[in-house]
Structure 1
């Protein structure tokens, strides 16, 4: 079993794993997930049952539909009821920012890939915060940000209907620290498409700050693009990794299987 850094600042690729039930393999992957944020196993070719079983090593699984611990990711509405919602995954985001406790981690297995586009990009908000100039860290200290489903959907539908807006606003907003002081001592940024505004700040100033911070976090040194091959398995720390899908045609055969692991640390 060999591990190789994906980028200098985050991400680990594992090679030569004989079994994902092996306790040593699970422990090493867990350690890499915690400190490196993204784990890649190329050509793992996990079936649904194996992906679910492996994911359970890390905690209870979210069930997007009753009694279903795995979700189909596709833009084809015939394959998943979430096809329309998945348009929002083309924007940088962290999942569950409107919940009290975000999902701990997410896994994806590639069943089919797009002919063009369809890669998944990751950006480390841990590394982005660590490399901020000290005066910027002081500027962000104590700021709080409001996250909403509406903010994310407006990146997909910039001119929504009244009915769309009314539905979006039935879903709860959530306020958190802009800089999340983690229980392990690290700090990460809570930003992305759901970040609507900074509490108490002029709206234009707030939007500029959030856009600038997102641009800083997603620059090349803090990010990684994974070009999928059939059978690839990727797992990431949802609490500290921004992610997004590269655009691909709605008629593309791209199909992923996803599990999501229930979180255990509330936003501060």
Structure 2
């Protein structure tokens, strides 16, 4: 695997087509002097791991600001101030923990928005004894390696996305009242193939993908599942096994991710910040 080394800065690829690890120190990260390199590497490799960097909440917030605009999403801003957001199944810490169960299925964040977040930054504060790894896949690479005839067939397709579709993975038999609550969030029509301003293209898939416009339900579901299987195969993927203090940042516009199962009473706790989106789906 390729490695480049300079003072307090070592970059190593962790999988062939996705993921790099950067071994550095807090001072270097918080200075912002490497911010442009981090952003370039994130766009190119999709996922960056900072092993056992052990940033505090305030340091993670400061680091996030070096990379772009700090994202405040629903329920994630504390009194209008920048804050880390707890990712946990403990409802006493996160009141919407039940909703977070959708994260156990392949997805990208922000499919209900025209401009999704650019990136997530997550740090490990407490781990489950078993499970709880995070899977990532590179949706740029998945597009690039599709056969050319298949690219031609799918490039112009549009897909309806809906939050309620992802919640059915968790609760396949909701009450009618709960389904109505989910469906009140509406739906969003997105391209199946995202043509980025950089000129690169990526697949837009995941658990919120409801139906392909112009196709009957059977054909639509078959296409979405087949492409998900393609994009998430091992050669496009990286599984991160967390250690305490690890911080991982991923390009939300060119990857999908999911958490692997673990005991929800284990106390597993991740702290997340985000970067505001800079590019609309196109």
What TM-score does the superposition give when structure 1 sets the normalisation length? 0.97
Q: Distance in 1 between matches of 2:281 and 2:83?
A: 24
**2:77 aligned to which of 65, 71, 81:** 65
Q: Distance in 1 between matches of 2:276 and 2:186?
A: 19
SS at match of 1:75: coil
The 10-residue stretch of structure 1 (198-207 or 63-72) with the greater mean CA deviation from structure 2: 63-72
Residue segments in structure 2 that go unaligned for 5+ positions in a row? 1-8
Residue of structure 1 in register with 2:155 after alignment? 141
Deviation of 1:173 after TM superposition, in Å, equals: 0.8
The 10-residue stretch of structure 1 (15-24 or 250-259) with the greater mean CA deviation from structure 2: 15-24
Which residues of 2 match residues 1-268 of structure 1 at below 5 A? 1-17=9-25, 18-63=27-72, 64-66=76-78, 67=80, 68-268=82-282
Cα offsets for 1:3-29 (capped at 9, x unmatched): 001111121111133521234322221
| Conserved? CA contact 1:61–1:69, under 8 Å | no
SS at match of 2:167: helix
Cα offsets for 1:115-156 (capped at 9, x unmatched): 111000000100100111111111111000011001111111
The 10-residue stretch of structure 1 (206-215 or 16-25) with the greater mean CA deviation from structure 2: 16-25
| Conserved? CA contact 2:32–2:63, under 8 Å | no
Deviation of 1:100 after TM superposition, in Å, equals: 1.0
Residue of structure 1 in register with 2:3 after alignment? none
Residue of structure 1 in register with 2:6 after alignment? none
Q: How many residues get paired? A: 268
SS at match of 2:114: coil
Q: Distance in 2 between matches of 1:26 and 1:162?
A: 48
Q: Distance in 2 between matches of 1:10 and 1:24?
A: 24
Deviation of 1:58 after TM superposition, in Å, equals: 2.1
Q: What is the RMSD of the two structures over their aligned residues, measured on CA atoms?
A: 1.1
Q: Distance in 1 between matches of 2:115 and 2:217?
A: 27
SS at match of 1:44: coil
Residue segments in structure 1 that go unaligned for 5+ positions in a row? none
Structure 1 outlier segments of 4+, above 4 Å: none
